[in-house]
């Protein structure tokens, strides 16, 4: 069975290019920690990143993995 876990960040005010990159990196760190602590690395199928309508205000990182 393939399943997923999504990490998301939604903020509608107060962004800057540097702050945006820092938010992305925090999200990536959360996904990496999830993989390191909750999964076997070989069970990871894909990791996707997406932004809502190319907006700097909302984005997600999804880890797709095999579940026994």
What is the chain's length?
Answer: 68
Number of domains comprising the chain: 1
- Residue-number span of the structural domain to which 37 is assigned: 2-66
Report the pLDDT value the prediction gives residue 3, as an integer from 0 to 100.
97
How far is residue 66's CA from residue 27's CA, in Å, rounded to a whole number?
A: 21
Give residue 33's pLDDT: 97
Sign of CA dihedral 55, 5, 66, 31: positive
User: Across the chain, what does the average pLDDT equal?
Assistant: 86
* Measured distance CA(11)–CA(44) in Å, rounded: 28
Share of residues in the chain with pLDDT > 90 (%): 51
Distance CA 36, CA 30 (A): 10
pLDDT value of position 24 = 85
Between 13 and 25, whose confidence is greater? 25
The pTM for the full model equals 0.82
pLDDT of residue 18: 77
Helix (H) or strand (E) holding 50: strand 44-51
């Amino acid at each position: 069975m393939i399943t997923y876990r999504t990490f998301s960040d939604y903020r509608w005010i107060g962004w800057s290019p540097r702050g945006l990159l820092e938010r992305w990196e925090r999200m990536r760190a959360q996904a990496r920690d999830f993989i390191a602590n909750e999964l076997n690395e070989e069970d990871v199928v894909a990791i996707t990143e997406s932004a809502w309508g190319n907006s700097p205000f909302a984005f997600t990182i999804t880890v797709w993995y095999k579940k026994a």
